[in-house]
Structure 1
Amino acid sequence: MRSLPDPAASRAVLVGVSRYTVLEPLPAVANNLPALARALTGPTSWHLPAGHCTVVAEPDTARDMLDPVKEAAEATSDTLLVYFAGHGLLDGRGELFFGLPGSVQGSSYTGVTYQALREIITDCTAQRFVIILDCCMSGRALGLMGGEDLLADQAQIDGSYLLAAAPENGRALAPLGETHTAFTGELLDVLQRGIPGGSRELDLNAVYHHLRGELAAKGRPAPQKRDRNTAGRLILARNQAYRPASAPARAAMEENAWPDPDDCHTPLVFLEALAEMRALTGLTIPALAQRADPPLAATTISRLLNETALPATWKTTGRYLAACGLTPDQIGAWQAAWQRLRTQEEELTELEPPLPTTTPPRARSWRARLAGRQDLRPWQRGK
């Protein structure tokens, strides 16, 4: 089940280093911190009290960075979020450490080791941990925050959700001339504007899938995640782009408005009924794709609705039906119909020689049935 953190029992610590004496500066990082703090303390996200969101900008020493994290961890019983933006580096042993203003590549004693942060987090009594790392290895050119593998693998903690800006063997990007880093800028856009076609509330998994798609579409590094238990169901934001179901969708939710799975006597009728449901919702295929949990690719739904043979597996169909708005009981009835048709197909293929069959009269197409129900739609009654 999705859950929203209790603001009174949750904390966030946002750390950023934009000024470096040896490494390349990252000016966009300085803009990330206040913007993310406003989002987390605002009504569109966790609505944390101002005192529960600590901003640590340009920490000079390990204690400057870690003491606020320890204080927040000791005060948190619900959810602890720790964010770092800046240079992420590897020492000579390949261990991850965070760059402070005076850090040097390869020398972990000049920065903050991930292990030190990990010890603080794992020792606290919070129910859930969210770790957001907008960093990778040292930048090799102005605007790059570097990148190699191992970041997410080293950073994982049981019971936590890690969201990292860079893929394995990739780089986190701070584009020149942009206000924010590529990853955090996209994250802020989700918090402020939401995801069109998405659900009313956005959990971490939904945000991750959206970020990955948007950044990849722009040719930017795709983020990665590591999660444990049910941390991915934690709500990060209220979807500002959410729109209630359209009139056709509300009508479809009325009793007997959806097609009846018991009327699907052939695979073709079954597939036409799936397409009819999409029409009844009034939603586009891309919008339905975003409503799925986790989101589906629009091309996946399009292929499903244009199949000429029964789907070989159930998973995608079930997620599609849930996105249309069917209840678990209704989805169970459709799964039973799918299984019935699959069994019939298997029995027919085992017959040798094939027996003559009588093809049932083909039902009217879903478009014809939908057109014939216009006068019966609930919102038109009484006109």
Structure 2
Amino acid sequence: MSVLPDPGASRAVLIGTSRYDHLEQLPAVSNNLTALAAILSGPLSLRLPAPHVAVVENPPDPGTVLDPLRHAAAEATDTLIVYYAGHGLIDAHDALALALPHTRPGRVETSLSYDWLRQILLDSRAQRHIVLLDCCYSGLALGRMNAAQGLADQAAVEGTFLLAASAETRTALAPIGDTHTAFTGALLDTLRHGIPGGPPLLDLETVYRHLRLTLEARAHPVPQARNRNSGARVALTRNHAALKTAPVTATADPQPEHRLWPDPSTIRTVTGYFANLAAVREVSGLTQQEVSRRSAGRVSTGTISRLINRDTLPATWNSTAAYLAACGVPADQIEQWHGAWQKLRDESAGVPAGGTVEPGKAPRRFSALWRGRGQ
């Protein structure tokens, strides 16, 4: 079953090199980073809090990449997303290296060894890892590649879904005049607009198949993918092509149980709770005014706005229950939402699972959101 990560327990590190001293320039990479960070933090995708998305652009040395990656790996318990765009190198020992601004052709020690990055992923607390590599191979500047072992094989990590662009030349990776590189541009379009006729959740396997067809039709190199431990079922977004067909009237959905409502059982954090609560209305296809009317006045539009945009749990359950019912969420799922709300309230008060606060002990507060380093 496809699943959207909990944004409060997930992190993303986006790395890109657009300026080089000794290799061809890739100006579109800068646009890649800006656009992907915006999507991951926005309502079109995972709703990751901005501090959970670290952007590392044109890092001067490997440490500038590895430090924020270590922070993210230590904080993420649900999903860790790592993205790199730039030149890729394969050294004489067939090991993958990622080019940095000062990388010299034939001097792999001036680049970032993928093995260092891979080790951090292996040591991460995250249950799932998503690795997106938008690398090019230039036969003239970037050395040789073992044709029998592609980029996806080089970079595989257990518990990971790896999606890698296979571009032989700079033109294939970043067509002159285009805003984004070919692979990332197609990925961004998919996340923004969805896949007509696709499933409600765009898991990585679905995205991969769509990108292969799209890029092949454009005569671009097709991507590679590797899956470890069902990583292919992780979704980066809801299918916005499917959401556009949702009803936009106040008339009750005749078959609300057939909608893929946000799953409260996947919620681990308060951030994830509110992200999924906001997604409920998107899935319903109703406006806030229509939800309010369907609630028979129990929740106003102002209450709805405050409910989905707050960062602390409401002290009472009634407004949330009325909001969910007005959106069309089935009663059994509303009960699951109530359970998620109660569990998070207990955790915020320091109540052990199934227990009560120990006498004499103060309630435990939620830890502050990680303030990741961005550049």
Please state whether the residue corresponding to 2:23 is helix, strand or coil.
Answer: coil
- Listed as ranges, the matches of 1:46-85 within 5 Å are 46-85=46-85
CA distance in 2, matches of 1:108, 1:138: 14
CA distance in 2, matches of 1:15, 1:89: 16
Does the 8 Å contact 1:8/1:48 carry over to 2? yes
1:13 maps to amino acid: V
Please state whether the residue corresponding to 2:241 is helix, strand or coil.
Answer: coil
Distance 1:198 1:66, change over 3 A: same
Match of residue 19 from structure 2: 19
Q: Indicate the structure (1 or 2) with the bigger Cα radius of gyration.
A: 1
Q: Does 1:5 align with 2:2?
A: no
Question: RMSD between aligned alpha carbons?
Answer: 2.6
2:62 maps to amino acid: A
2:161 maps to amino acid: Y
Q: TM-score, normalised by structure 1?
A: 0.61
CA distance in 2, matches of 1:231, 1:145: 31
Q: How many residues align?
A: 247
Deviation at 1:94, TM superposition (A): 1.8
CA distance in 1, matches of 2:196, 2:139: 34
Match of residue 37 from structure 2: 37
Distance 1:170 1:234, change over 3 A: farther
Unmatched 5+ residue regions in structure 2?
Answer: 248-252, 256-375
Does the 8 Å contact 1:78/1:128 carry over to 2? yes
Does the 8 Å contact 1:170/1:221 carry over to 2? no
Match of residue 192 from structure 2: 192
Does the 8 Å contact 2:174/2:180 carry over to 1? yes
Deviation at 1:151, TM superposition (A): 1.2
Deviation at 1:136, TM superposition (A): 3.1
Please state whether the residue corresponding to 2:83 is helix, strand or coil.
Answer: strand
1:65 maps to amino acid: V
2:238 maps to amino acid: R
Deviation at 1:170, TM superposition (A): 8.0
Consecutive aligned runs of 4 or more in structure 1 exceeding 6 Å deviation: 144-148
Match of residue 107 from structure 1: 107
Deviation at 1:119, TM superposition (A): 0.7
CA distance in 2, matches of 1:146, 1:49: 40
CA distance in 2, matches of 1:47, 1:56: 20
Distance 1:60 1:195, change over 3 A: same
Does the 8 Å contact 1:24/1:139 carry over to 2? no
CA distance in 2, matches of 1:61, 1:116: 13
Does the 8 Å contact 1:23/1:139 carry over to 2? no
CA distance in 2, matches of 1:50, 1:226: 28
Give the fraction of aligned pairs with identical amino acids, expressed as a percent: 52
Match of residue 241 from structure 1: 241
Deviation at 1:96, TM superposition (A): 0.7
2:201 maps to amino acid: E
- Listed as ranges, the matches of 1:52-201 within 5 Å are 52-138=52-138, 140=140, 149=147, 150-166=150-166, 173-201=173-201
CA distance in 2, matches of 1:139, 1:101: 19
Distance 1:31 1:145, change over 3 A: farther
Does the 8 Å contact 2:89/2:143 carry over to 1? no
Please state whether the residue corresponding to 1:166 is helix, strand or coil.
Answer: coil
CA distance in 1, matches of 2:133, 2:188: 14
CA distance in 1, matches of 2:145, 2:240: 33
Please state whether the residue corresponding to 2:71 is helix, strand or coil.
Answer: helix
CA distance in 1, matches of 2:6, 2:254: 35
Distance 1:188 1:165, change over 3 A: same
Higher RCO (CA-CA < 8 Å; seq separation 6+): 2
- For residues 265-298 of structure 1, give each alpha carbon's deviation from its aligned partner in whole angstroms, at most 9, with x where no partner exists: xxxxxxxxxxxxxxxxxxxxxxxxxxxxxxxxxx
- For residues 125-183 of structure 1, give each alpha carbon's deviation from its aligned partner in whole angstroms, at most 9, with x where no partner exists: 10000000000334648xx999764311110011100000117x788511001000000
Match of residue 316 from structure 2: none
Distance 1:234 1:146, change over 3 A: farther
Does the 8 Å contact 2:136/2:173 carry over to 1? no
Deviation at 1:108, TM superposition (A): 2.0
Please state whether the residue corresponding to 1:5 is helix, strand or coil.
Answer: coil
Does the 8 Å contact 2:19/2:101 carry over to 1? yes
- For residues 99-118 of structure 1, give each alpha carbon's deviation from its aligned partner in whole angstroms, at most 9, with x where no partner exists: 01010223221011010001
Match of residue 221 from structure 2: 221
Deviation at 1:43, TM superposition (A): 1.1
- For residues 323-350 of structure 1, give each alpha carbon's deviation from its aligned partner in whole angstroms, at most 9, with x where no partner exists: xxxxxxxxxxxxxxxxxxxxxxxxxxxx
Match of residue 344 from structure 1: none
Please state whether the residue corresponding to 1:188 is helix, strand or coil.
Answer: helix
CA distance in 2, matches of 1:147, 1:42: 37
Q: TM-score, normalised by structure 2?
A: 0.62
1:84 maps to amino acid: Y
Please state whether the residue corresponding to 1:59 is helix, strand or coil.
Answer: coil
2:136 maps to amino acid: C
